[in-house]
Amino acid sequence: MPYEKRHYRKKLTSHGLIYLDGDELPITLSNISITGLLAELEDHERINDVEGLFKTVKISPIVDIYLQEMRLAGEAEIVRADMIDGRIYLALDFRNVEHDVENLFYVRHAYRKKLEAPGLIILNGHNYHFNTINVSVDGLMVTLPERIDVEPGAIAAFNFKRLDLLGEVKVVWVTYQDGNTLLGLEYNYLEKTFVEGIPRFSPRNPGVVKG
C-alpha cells in the first residue's frame, strides 16, 4: 500500500479573523496543522454574493489571517471553499505566517502586512526611491538604498502606487544597515481616507470572538 505523508491535524475550537473581499470576517477553526487549517466563515451573511466570493477566491486565493488565541498572523492560501448546509468552510495553507505576534500588536496597534513594492518620498528637498518592507493601516516600513540624514519627526511627501497612496508621512524612527536607510513612517495625511487591501487586525477589534 503506498504511503501518503499527512501532517497531524489537531481538532480544536478557536477563533480568528480573515480579510476577505475587503472585510475582516470572523472565523471558527475546526482543526489546524503545521501547514494550514480548516475554518468556518461565521459572518457569511455579510457576503451578498456567495457565488461571486467563490469566483474571487479562485482568482485571488491569497488572504490575510489573524488568529489571536493562537498568536498567529500573516498570509494564507485558500485551497478549497465549500458551502455545506448553508455554512461556508475554507481550507487554508499557510504561506507567510508569524508566530507570537501578540506583543507586536500591542506595540504597533495594527497588523503589518509584508509587502515589497517601490515608492517615492521627498526628504530634505530631494526625491528618493524606496521599497516597502511592510505596510499597515497606520504606516509603512521602508528601505532606501543609500544613507539619508533625516531626523525623527520630519514630515515628508510620498507616493506609493501599489496601494494608490499619496500624501504625507511622519518619520517615526531611523536606522542604518549595510549602507541602507530604514525608516518607520506614520501616515500624517492621505488623499484618500482608508488604506485599501490592508486589514487592521487589532486585538481590540470588536470582530474577534472569544471562546
Domain ranges of the chain: 10-100, 113-190
- If one compares 192 and 166, the residue with the highest pLDDT of the two is 166
pLDDT at 105: 47
The answer to whether the beta carbons of residues 157 and 119 sit under 8 Å apart is no
Q: What is the dihedral of CA 35, 65, 139, 168, to 10 degrees?
A: 120
The DSSP bridge pattern shows strands 62-67 and 36-41 to be unpaired
Three-state DSSP at 108 gives helix
* Pick from 37-46, 116-125, 166-175: least confident: 37-46
The answer to whether the beta carbons of residues 143 and 131 sit under 8 Å apart is yes
pLDDT at 146: 96
Q: Decide yes or no: CATH 2.40.10.220 for domain 113-190.
A: yes
| Residues 55-109: tens digit of each pLDDT | 878 888 999 999 888 788 889 999 988 888 888 899 999 998 877 655 544 445 6
The answer to whether the beta carbons of residues 159 and 166 sit under 8 Å apart is yes
Q: What share of the chain is helix, strand, coil (3-state, %, to 5)?
A: 10, 55, 35
Sign of the four-CA dihedral 85, 88, 94, 100: negative
**φ, ψ dihedrals at 164, nearest 5°:** 55, 45
Common-topology check for domains 10-100 and 113-190: yes
The answer to whether the beta carbons of residues 108 and 118 sit under 8 Å apart is no
Domain 10-100 in this protein, CATH class: mainly beta
The answer to whether the beta carbons of residues 185 and 135 sit under 8 Å apart is no
